[in-house]
A = this chain, B = another copy of it.
């Protein structure tokens, strides 16, 4: 964000006033943010997200930050010369890979986020699905054995609500606690949706690298601001929801179905997109209701 913008007191006051009804709306409500994509790799964007999260927690929103860390995991696997095995085109998570996943997610990405929040004077606590037996997982069932890629059996939210009640911002790496005692790699979008559903969150925000759902995927002017979950099948059929969007939007639909107030896919490439989404009329991206 250009630091040069000259803002009058009048504008300052107006912006804060415009935010008032949104602040009232989210007061003491839970918002789960799935953090990922460009917003996680670009330093300026990362800083903006961190300050957004700290601001939200201060104005009374119970923010939970869930993150993945694909690029960092890939870097480390490469440095360690660990090759990725594929079975029928699907990635197989070996024990060795899983150890790297856990180490990078919980030790590098997670704690760096805690550290960044601290820089912005946020009081954060870095957790993963193992802590307090939070994300109970098991091997993905199916024809193909995908190793330590897991699916969620249950979410124990007590450690999250304890942290929120004690005034911490929980930052969650989505390593699951296998019922067999092993650690499992859990998709972060899915985990965020499951956590939001179990917490009865007011809102789930998935940060992506697209502008939202577009009628014409090449024309950002065709953004669809709101989608009713019952229209999703039709949107899939017409190819408007396609490719990598499908699992993300399935997460949105699933979380809305399981009681999350609203779910939004927002453009993580826009600085402060979380604040804009939550505290302004325009919003940013596509909301599922």
Residues of A participating in the B interface, judged by any CB pair closer than 8 Å: 1-2, 5, 7, 9-21, 23-24, 27, 48, 51, 54-55, 58-60, 79-80, 99, 102-108, 110-111, 114-115, 118-121, 123-128, 130-133, 159, 162, 166, 168, 175, 177, 181, 183, 270-272, 275-276, 279-280, 282, 284
A contact patch SS? helix
Number of copies: 6
Q: Return 22 A-B CB contacts under 8 Å, by A number.
A: A1-B13, A1-B17, A2-B10, A5-B14, A9-B270, A12-B275, A13-B272, A15-B15, A15-B16, A16-B16, A16-B55, A20-B55, A20-B120, A24-B121, A58-B59, A60-B60, A103-B107, A105-B107, A106-B126, A114-B131, A115-B177, A118-B177
- Known pairs A7-B15, A107-B111; list 12 more (Cβ under 8 Å): A1-B13, A5-B11, A12-B279, A19-B55, A20-B51, A23-B58, A24-B54, A103-B104, A118-B130, A124-B131, A125-B132, A126-B127
A10 touches B5 (CB 8 A): yes
Among A55, A104, A131, A132, the most chain B Cβ lie within 10 Å of the Cβ of: A131
| Closest 9 pairs between A and B when the two form their complex, measured CB to CB | A107-B107, A13-B272, A103-B107, A106-B107, A15-B15, A103-B108, A59-B59, A162-B166, A125-B131
Interface pair B280/A12, CB less than 8 Å apart: yes
Contact A115 B14 (CB under 8 A): no
Picked from B1, B14, B80, B133, the residue with its CB within 8 Å of the CB of A7 is: B14
Beta-carbon contact of B121 and A131 below 8 Å: no
Q: Which residues of B contact A21 (CB under 8 A)?
A: 121
